[in-house]
């Protein structure tokens, strides 16, 4: 077995992607983009045997300064985006997956990585036994997806009645959805931030102007902006969608505060669904609620499709002694970083960094 941490320029990264279904979040250029904005180094665990291949995209981060950890200690997480999950040439081969994840512990520890927080793909399932046997598998909640192979009539019938009524009302009132209005990108960024403020979102989600410019530059024609313009000519709602291999992913979205009552995002999701189907798309991933829980946002999305899947994350402690030392130091220095049960991982980032892996 050959197991290494590789960078985005390594030809093996792109070569393995050509062998397996993947999303934009697995592209080396996307992982490099994420690392620039999340504060870390873009890497991937690459594992190769005579019979199989495995790739795990990562952002390797320095530890919070308040912990005063040695400079060669790090942790790792998946780049932000659903779903930057591990990839394998045979995702059902439990033995190969256990070997790859065990290799990650050894290779990662050699590079000073203390812990890793990994997002898993809810639809492209892998052997859960492999994750349970090598770390902790954490279940969050369900996510919603749309099967675009269904007829237009079926998709409409699957839409919740109050959503259908809202969509018709918006259209009659003169709200107009469209794709590709990049002249409205600045307005979209503004209403996205309004939406995050209303949701009291963590600081991580308040992306900079540079982030949005860099995202568009990185993904090019794989990134799509859907806009819903009000009868007054203002951007009422918008969403960024990432497309690859027949799959469209809802990345970020927002609604202008002045139009909350009309819920124009209903019209947006209905339009995007048809737009993607017309172009041969197979699946539209809408995601779930904030933080992966089944909240009001999840139930809003579930009004567009009865199909759902469970979203899970994988947490691995690669170096238990260092992890425990960091947790102890966090408890020593920060109130609220105690021994009580928590879903937060890694626990030493909970208060020390003002938030952890989103």
What distance, in Å, lies between the first and last C-alpha atoms of the chain? 32
Q: Which residues pair with 242 in a beta bridge?
A: 223, 249
Q: Say yes or no: 57 and 120 in one domain.
A: yes
The answer to whether 84 touches 119, Cβ cutoff 8 Å, is yes
CATH number at residue 29: 3.40.630
pLDDT, averaged across the chain: 92
Residue 357 pLDDT grade (very low, low, confident, very high; cuts 50, 70, 90): very low
With pLDDT > 90 as the criterion, what percentage of the chain qualifies?
81
Angle at 246 between CA 302 and CA 52, to 5 degrees: 105
The answer to whether 256 touches 236, Cβ cutoff 8 Å, is yes
What is the pLDDT at residue 338?
Answer: 58
Residue 3 pLDDT grade (very low, low, confident, very high; cuts 50, 70, 90): very high
pLDDT digits (tens, 9 = 90+) for 225-242: 999 999 999 999 999 999
Q: Say yes or no: 9 and 63 in one domain.
A: yes
Q: Taking residues 312-338, what's their average pLDDT?
A: 87
Instruction: Show the tokens assigned to 281.
Output: 């798309």
pLDDT digits (tens, 9 = 90+) for 101-136: 999 999 999 999 999 999 999 888 788 999 999 999
Residue 354 placed within a domain: no
Angle of helix 28-38 relative to helix 209-219, nearest 10 degrees, comes to 170
Q: Say yes or no: 86 and 172 in one domain.
A: no
Q: Say yes or no: 153 and 197 in one domain.
A: yes
Q: Say yes or no: 151 and 281 in one domain.
A: yes
Residue 205 placed within a domain: yes
Q: Say yes or no: 54 and 84 in one domain.
A: yes
Residue 208 pLDDT greater than 70, yes or no: yes
pLDDT digits (tens, 9 = 90+) for 145-203: 999 999 999 999 999 999 999 999 999 999 999 999 999 999 999 999 999 999 898 88
Which of residues 333 and 92 earns the better pLDDT score?
A: 92
Contacts of 220 (CB under 8 A, 6+ apart): none
Residue 340 pLDDT grade (very low, low, confident, very high; cuts 50, 70, 90): low
What is the pLDDT at residue 177?
Answer: 98
Residue 314 placed within a domain: no
What is the pLDDT at residue 24?
Answer: 95
What is the pLDDT at residue 174?
Answer: 98
Q: Say yes or no: 11 and 72 in one domain.
A: yes
Three-state DSSP class for residue 79: coil
CATH number at residue 173: 3.40.630.30
Residue 246 pLDDT greater than 50, yes or no: yes
The two most distant CA atoms of the chain are separated, in Å, by: 63
User: CA 114 to CA 105: how far, in whole Å?
Assistant: 9
User: CA 330 to CA 354: how far, in whole Å?
Assistant: 12
Residue 292 pLDDT grade (very low, low, confident, very high; cuts 50, 70, 90): low
Residue 352 pLDDT greater than 70, yes or no: no
Q: What pTM, to 2 d.p., does this model score?
A: 0.93
User: CA 179 to CA 238: how far, in whole Å?
Assistant: 10
CA distances from 30 to 35, 37, 44, 203, 254 (A): 9, 11, 12, 21, 22
| Number of residues that this document lists for the chain | 358
Q: Which residues pair with 147 in a beta bridge?
A: 283
User: CA 175 to CA 64: how far, in whole Å?
Assistant: 46
The answer to whether 248 touches 283, Cβ cutoff 8 Å, is yes
Q: Say yes or no: 107 and 190 in one domain.
A: no
User: CA 311 to CA 15: how far, in whole Å?
Assistant: 28
Q: Say yes or no: 278 and 218 in one domain.
A: yes
User: CA 225 to CA 249: how far, in whole Å?
Assistant: 12
User: CA 343 to CA 332: how far, in whole Å?
Assistant: 20
Q: Say yes or no: 199 and 288 in one domain.
A: yes
Q: Say yes or no: 158 and 276 in one domain.
A: yes
Range of the domain at 15: 2-134+319-349
What is the pLDDT at residue 356?
Answer: 43
Residue 34 placed within a domain: yes
Residue 358 pLDDT greater than 50, yes or no: no
The domain total for the chain is: 2
The answer to whether 113 touches 74, Cβ cutoff 8 Å, is yes
User: CA 25 to CA 35: how far, in whole Å?
Assistant: 12
Residue 336 pLDDT greater than 60, yes or no: no
Residue 190 placed within a domain: yes
pLDDT digits (tens, 9 = 90+) for 253-284: 999 999 999 999 999 999 999 999 999 999 99
CA distances from 21 to 25, 26, 148, 248, 276 (A): 12, 10, 17, 13, 18
Identify the CA nearest to 221 among candidates 203, 200, 243, 240: 243
Residue 85 placed within a domain: yes
User: CA 137 to CA 120: how far, in whole Å?
Assistant: 10
Residue 46 pLDDT greater than 90, yes or no: yes
Residue 313 placed within a domain: no
User: CA 224 to CA 272: how far, in whole Å?
Assistant: 10
Helices (runs of H) and strands (runs of E) counted in the chain: 11, 13
Residue 149 placed within a domain: yes
């Amino acid at each position: 077995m050959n197991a290494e941490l590789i960078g985005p320029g390594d030809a093996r990264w792109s070569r393995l992607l050509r062998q397996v279904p993947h999303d934009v979040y697995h592209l080396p250029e996307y992982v490099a983009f994420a690392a620039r904005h999340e504060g870390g180094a873009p890497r991937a665990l690459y594992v190769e045997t005579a019979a199989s291949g495995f790739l795990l995209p990562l952002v390797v981060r320095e530890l919070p300064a308040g912990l005063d950890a040695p400079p060669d200690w790090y942790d790792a997480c998946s780049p932000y985006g659903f779903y930057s999950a591990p990839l394998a040439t045979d995702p059902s081969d439990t033995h190969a997956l256990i070997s790859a994840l065990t290799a990650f512990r050894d290779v990662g520890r050699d590079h000073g990585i203390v812990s890793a927080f990994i997002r898993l793909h809810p639809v492209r399932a892998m052997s859960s036994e492999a994750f349970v046997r090598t770390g902790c598998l954490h279940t969050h909640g369900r996510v919603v997806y749309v099967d675009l192979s269904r007829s237009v009539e079926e998709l409409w019938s699957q839409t919740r009645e109050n959503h259908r009524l809202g969509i018709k009302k918006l259209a009659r009132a003169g709200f107009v959805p469209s794709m590709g209005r990049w002249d409205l990108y600045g307005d979209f960024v503004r209403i996205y931030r309004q939406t995050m403020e209303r949701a009291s979102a963590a600081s991580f989600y308040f992306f900079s102007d540079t982030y949005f410019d860099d995202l568009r530059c990185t993904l090019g024609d794989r990134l799509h902006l859907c806009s819903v313009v009000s009868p007054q000519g203002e951007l009422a709602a918008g969403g960024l969608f990432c497309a690859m291999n027949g799959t469209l992913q809802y990345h970020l979205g927002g609604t202008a505060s002045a139009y909350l009552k009309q819920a124009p995002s209903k019209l947006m999701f209905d339009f995007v669904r048809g737009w993607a189907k017309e172009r041969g798309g197979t699946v539209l991933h809408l995601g779930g609620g904030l933080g992966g829980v089944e909240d009001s946002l999840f139930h809003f999305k579930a009004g567009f499709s009865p199909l759902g899947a469970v979203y899970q994350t994988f947490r691995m402690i690669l170096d238990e002694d260092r992890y425990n030392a960091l947790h102890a130091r966090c408890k020593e220095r920060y109130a609220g970083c105690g021994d009580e049960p928590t879903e937060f991982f890694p626990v030493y980032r909970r208060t020390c960094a003002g938030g952890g892996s989103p």
